[in-house]
Structure 1
Amino acid sequence: MEWALPDPFVIDIHVSEAAIDDYQHVNNSEYLRWVEQVSWAHSEALGLSIERYRELDRALAVHRHELDYLAPAFAGDELQLATWVVACDGRFSLTRRFELKRVRDAKTLFQARTRFACIALSSGRPKRLPEEYQRIYGGALITE
């Protein structure tokens, strides 16, 4: 598969009937669920699990989503969703990009960008990215 950026982290998605809305295509909310799913899978692959987030009393909370729905997906479609860390300021924020493609024709169905802000899980207040986040996410950084 040819992606917008090099070296993506990719998950496979099979579109189930549960993802389909009254218009007979994937509901918009499913795309966000998949964005969250690939984000966590990538973080875990890098060594930052939810348990580690809790130990460090930190979370990367969504600050802004930019979502571009380019073409619909349907029940039974096989998809691949890629993500990249494209910015990590080393202080308070991290940005990911996403690209969703249908496997059978490699058509891009969806693109997104999410900016996360680092907060303390215990208070919800902004906090600096732990050194571990800076090192791990910074090491995964792809230049756009």
Structure 2
Amino acid sequence: MQPEIFEYHFTVPKSAIDDMDHVNNVVYLQWVQDVAKKHWESKTDIKLRNTYVWVVLNHFIEYHHPTFENDKITLQTWIDNHRGVKSERHTKIINSTTQQVLVSAKTSWCLLYKETLRPARITDEISTLFF
């Protein structure tokens, strides 16, 4: 079964630009985390969000092409697989005009119980929301 791809569109703000006049590497990483959160919030209700939280175990990010102020971009993200308490999420940052992939990322996440911050197995209730 193919995972559903979640998309978020926006225009690059001046605040994302560094001294080299393109998007700073740290900003891309923030966008990777932001789109993951937006995806989670779009698929879950308040009860699930009050029960669970996600923490990053690691990020692997590749910078393919620079991005500039006022570029229109699309963030795409999806869950590739999950097992136990861990999930692998992929993200692409794409220039909306040229369709050129600017950044690709793979992030390993761990699901935790929000109250105790202890690992929580990913239930069918959660996994079916994303596949």
Identify the TM-score tier after normalising by the shorter chain: 0.7 to 0.9
In the TM superposition, 1:39-118 aligns within 5 A as: 39-46=36-43, 48-49=44-45, 52-54=48-50, 56=51, 58-89=52-83, 91-118=84-111
- Which residue matches 1:126? 119
Conserved in 1, the CA contact under 8 Å of 2:3 and 2:80? no
C-alpha offsets along residues 56-79 of structure 1, whole Å, 9 cap, x if unaligned?
2x2121111110011110101000
Q: How many residues align?
A: 130
C-alpha offsets along residues 44-98 of structure 1, whole Å, 9 cap, x if unaligned?
222x1566321x2x21211111100111101010001101110022x21111111
- Which residue matches 2:21? 24
- C-alpha separation in 2, matches of 1:10 and 1:99: 10
- C-alpha separation in 2, matches of 1:70 and 1:107: 9
- C-alpha separation in 1, matches of 2:12 and 2:3: 25
TM-score (norm: length of structure 2): 0.87
Q: Which runs of 5+ in 1 are unaligned?
A: none
Conserved in 1, the CA contact under 8 Å of 2:3 and 2:79? no
Deviation at 1:130, TM superposition (A): 4.0
TM-score (norm: length of structure 1): 0.80
Which range is displaced more, 122-131 or 79-88? 122-131
Give the aligned residue type for 1:10.
Answer: E
- C-alpha separation in 1, matches of 2:97 and 2:125: 39
SS of residue paired to 2:19: coil
Which range is displaced more, 9-18 or 31-40? 31-40
Is the strand fraction higher in 1 or 2?
A: 2
Deviation at 1:121, TM superposition (A): 2.0
- Percent identity, aligned pairs only, is 28
Give the aligned residue type for 1:17.
Answer: K
Give the aligned residue type for 1:99.
Answer: K
